[in-house]
Chain A
Amino acid sequence: MSIPKVVGIEQEYAIQLKGDPALSAFEASCMLVNAYAARIGLRKEGMRILWDYAHETPYEDIRGRLFRKSPTQQVVHDEDNLRINAGLPNGARFYTDHAHPEYSTAECLGARQAVACDKAGEIVLRQAVSDLKALCPQVDVSLYKNNSDHKGHSYGCHENYLMDAQAHEDRLIRDPEAAARTLMPFLVTRQVFAGAGKVGGEAPHSQSASYQVSQRADFMENLYGLETMYARPIINTRAEHHADADRFRRLHLILGDANMCETAAFVKIGATQIVLQMFEDGFIDEDWRLKEPVNALQRISIQHDVAVALEDGHRLTALQIQRLFLEKAEAFKSSAGAAAIPDYQEILTRWAELLDGLERLKLSADFDIEDDPGNLAQKVDWVLKLWLLNRYRNARDGSWDHPLLRVLDLHYHRVDNLEGLFYKLQRDGMTQRVCTDARIGHFVDHPPDDTRAYFRGHCLQKYAKEMFLLNWEVVGFDHGEVHRMVPLLNPLKGTRKQFEDIFTAAGDSRELIARLQAE
């Protein structure tokens, strides 16, 4: 039986530095983390909350020992740990990953909440830039929420979805064909509404592309695998579930683009939750296996309405495949599984609107938008960006080779809401919203109420001085004579409903633990 599809988004941001040639991207990322941590009071004297890496197993593969990598585990010393990491009172983690600032949202129950938390992450990053500027006026940092530097380097927007352990075992590990028949065709084709758009190509197969639907498609090479920085797979098989693995597993997707448009992000996350729920419940028994999924992913990115081959010999477009899933989702809506997904009907409605819009979208061979009666340019990043680029391009010589088109592409994703082109369009009322600014602002400071993020966030809000470590599945308190650990092995427990009264009553973490033990 399927369980609620708790979701979290991990966004790596591109970082551009000016003003201090000696400053590396890694150092600047760490400075951002610490500037923000200081702003919210997490760097006061005596406060040392480490990120606990004990549960991270990047070399273990869900498919078993044959697939594992040789561990070259590095010990992260406490000073480096503090420099790199900040667990936030809103349940998120803000940290440095390689040389990128990364923001992982708290665990969210629904798609709208996940979009709001992801957007709250942009605000956190903006505040960090502003705080860093105040501390080091000579350093000029700009951040971009995208997935490519247009020079062949990519960075991710990963999605994590909670799965029932038995379903994960049966349908992903023991019978990967089940995923190939259903989940994989959905993931390969969802880019038609979830792609962020990109000028040009960065892989041998896409060198002649003027414009692509997806930022990440050029970098996807496999169906399954452990890698994240080369030979990237559609489904990452890292056996790192951040929960009690006997009951819960994590589906770790690394193929998605970073969305600026709220509608695209909402439908991407919501539709993925629904398809995953149907997959776990065995509701899809059709066989929609793609003949060459990775090739299909890349071809659709270059031409959104190209027909790709299924194993059974049929040829369907991404839109047609998405319609098959939408039809199943309509039939699934009265099931118990559907009831566990917040905003189910709204997801279906908006998903259908996007597919209808794609059906009627007319592009010329040179990517001019000839007709967009579904107003996709208010909802879908790759169409909105295309409209913007065409405005500039067609006012000049119409060529896609103009280098400034790539500059515009990057500036569409700039996080600074006064400088970024997406935010200019949003300010002008040219984008559709699914979250209010107030709701997004709420998640800058507060965790979601209905997952374990509530518990973790409130520990940081009330007892940060007594904490010495945390990660997704544990909160640790330093009680002098003893370290007390509170495990958070169930992402669905630790909610406001369960713990609000306890947090209100408990003056310190000793009292919190006493009350937890008395429960």
Chain B
Amino acid sequence: MADTRQIKKPKKKTGQKKTDQQEQAAPLSKEKEKKLKELDNYIEGVLEEAGEDFLDQFKQIEGE
């Protein structure tokens, strides 16, 4: 996972270009790329299942 983190995704808000250093970082293996894609899909699934009102409904009583 550490390897994957060395390539930062550019942020849409800044339109930042990848630096030379980032360009030189080792490319993701196909397997890792697949795993990360699967993770992204999983996250989407979790959010979809949770629903839009999840946060509003997640109310806890004060604990110790």
Contacts and interface: CB of A to CB of B under 8 A. Distances in A.
Contacts of A153: 59-63
Specify which of B49, B62, B63 lies most central, judged by the most chain A CB atoms within 10 Å of its CB. Answer: B63
A211 interface: no
Contacts of A391: 9, 36, 39-40, 43
A398 B14 contact: yes
A136 interface: no
A397 B13 contact: yes
Nearest to B2: A375
Contacts of B17: none
A305 interface: no
21 contacts: A100-B60, A100-B63, A149-B59, A149-B60, A150-B58, A153-B60, A155-B62, A155-B63, A229-B64, A369-B5, A391-B9, A391-B43, A392-B40, A392-B43, A394-B10, A394-B11, A394-B12, A397-B13, A406-B55, A407-B50, A419-B46
B18 interface: no
A97 B63 contact: yes
A394 B9 contact: yes
Contacts of A25: 60-61
B5 to A, nearest CB: 5
B61 A158 contact: no
A428 B43 contact: no
Contacts of A430: 1
Given A98-B63, A153-B63, 12 more contacts: A14-B60, A98-B64, A100-B61, A151-B59, A155-B63, A156-B63, A229-B62, A229-B63, A254-B64, A369-B5, A391-B43, A398-B13
A371 B55 contact: no
Interface residues of B, number: 31
A403 B14 CA distance: 20
Nearest to B57: A16
Contacts of A98: 61-64
Interface in B25-64: 35-36, 39-40, 42-43, 46-47, 49-50, 54-55, 57-64
Contacts of B11: 394, 397-398
Contacts of B8: 368, 370, 394
Interface in A354-413: 368-373, 375, 377-378, 387-388, 391-392, 394-399, 403-404, 406-408, 410-411
B59 A408 contact: no
B58 to A, nearest CB: 6
Nearest to B1: A430
A369 B6 CA distance: 8
Q: Which 7 pairs from chain A and chain B are nearest by CB?
A: A155-B63, A398-B11, A228-B64, A149-B60, A99-B61, A398-B13, A12-B63
A297 to B, nearest CB: 18
B55 to A, nearest CB: 6
A407 B64 CA distance: 23
Contacts of A375: 1-2
Given A387-B1, A391-B40, A392-B43, A154 B35 contact: no
A12 B43 contact: no
Interface string A78-120: 0000000000000000000111100000000000000000000
A188 B12 CA distance: 37
A62 to B, nearest CB: 17
Contact of A378 (B1, B12, B40, B62): B1
Interface in A326-375: 368-373, 375
A403 B60 contact: no
Interface in A248-300: 254
A421 interface: yes
A408 B1 contact: no
A424 interface: yes
Nearest to A227: B64
A99 B62 CA distance: 8
A395 B9 contact: yes
A196 B49 CA distance: 24
Nearest to A392: B43
A105 B5 CA distance: 36
Interface string A9-23: 000101110000000
A334 to B, nearest CB: 35
Contacts of B62: 98, 153-155, 229-230
A376 to B, nearest CB: 9
Nearest to B64: A228
Nearest to B8: A368
A425 B40 CA distance: 11
A179 B42 CA distance: 46
A12 B60 CA distance: 11
